[in-house]
Chain A
Amino acid sequence: MPAVGEVLKALSDPTRRAVFERLTRGEAAVKELTARFSVSQPAISQHLAALRRAGLVAERRAGRNAYYRVKGTGLRPLVSWIEHYQGFWLERLDRLQKLLEEMDS
């Protein structure tokens, strides 16, 4: 599974993020993405390759066309990273509560 850093890095580029958002609404051909984002086809292909390396999208080839879609498990590293932080705050806020009770006495 790619590390959370790779996922965040892949999504830190605005165009890449927009492409990813578009793909969450359904599969799209490279041609269609090129037209939609008004960038060259090599540029779109590079963005898609970066998203694929980060495990965020999958490719399907049909004849001369390539189609991309969002991978269901792609955002898992990010979700578990955020969950990790959630656990951290829950624990610290419990400690804060104990401290406040001690400050009373």
Chain B
Amino acid sequence: MTASPQSITADYEFAQPPHKVWRALTDSSLMATWLMPNDFRPVVGHRFTFRAQPMPHWDGIVNCEVLEVDEPRRLRYSWRGGAGEFALDTTVTWTLTPSVSGGTRLHLDHAGFLPTNAFALQGMEKGWRGHIAERLAQAVAEV
């Protein structure tokens, strides 16, 4: 799993075939057991919500719209959560690829924390954390 100011990505390998993983990703009641209670339907344009326990800084509601349904390869929905200054306007994309062993490689891309290309920061290729660590070290050295 990696994170940058633009997105969080994760790669998982499951022993189950794509059609089964697809079901877990798109069946509303199955989604409720591993993700959050929801009123999802695999129809492009369908607006739905995920509802979780409210937390500090978050009312527990994620407002979504289905953007892409390409069974059993790709699923994409918008992910808008938080209120006011904590508002988050992001996109979640699931990509499924059959693996040689008959299982599924699942790729998650949760993107849009900051507008794309917003950060052409120097040293970015070293990784976000490395960059921050560098800045912190500099800041400490300057004190």
Residues of A in contact with B (beta carbons under 8 Å apart) = 3-6, 8-9, 11-12, 17, 21, 24-25, 70-73, 75-76, 78-79, 81-83, 85-86, 89-90, 92-93, 95-100, 103-104
Contact A98 B140, beta carbon cutoff 8 Å: no
Give the interface size bracket for B toward A.
35 or more
Contact A100 B21, beta carbon cutoff 8 Å: yes
Q: Does B138 contact A (CB under 8 A)?
A: yes
Q: Give the nearest-CB partner of A100 in chain B.
A: B16
Q: Give the nearest-CB partner of B30 in chain A.
A: A99
> Which of A17, A24, A71 has the most C-beta atoms of chain B within 10 angstroms of its own C-beta?
A24
Given A11-B114, A100-B24, A95–B14 Cβ distance below 8 Å?
no
Extra A-B contacts (14), CB below 8 Å, given A82-B5, A86-B8:
A5-B86, A17-B115, A21-B121, A72-B137, A76-B132, A79-B132, A81-B113, A82-B8, A90-B10, A93-B108, A99-B34, A100-B14, A100-B16, A103-B16
Residues of B in contact with A (beta carbons under 8 Å apart) = 1, 3, 5, 8, 10, 12, 14-16, 20-21, 23-24, 30, 33-35, 57, 84-87, 108, 110, 113-115, 118-122, 128-129, 132, 135-140, 142
Given A75-B132, A95-B33, A89–B10 Cβ distance below 8 Å?
yes
Q: How far is the CB of A21 from chain B (nearest CB, A)?
A: 6
Question: How far, in whole Å, are A21 and B124 apart by their CA atoms in the complex?
Answer: 12
Question: How far, in whole Å, are A85 and B3 apart by their CA atoms in the complex?
Answer: 10
Contact B1 A90, beta carbon cutoff 8 Å: yes
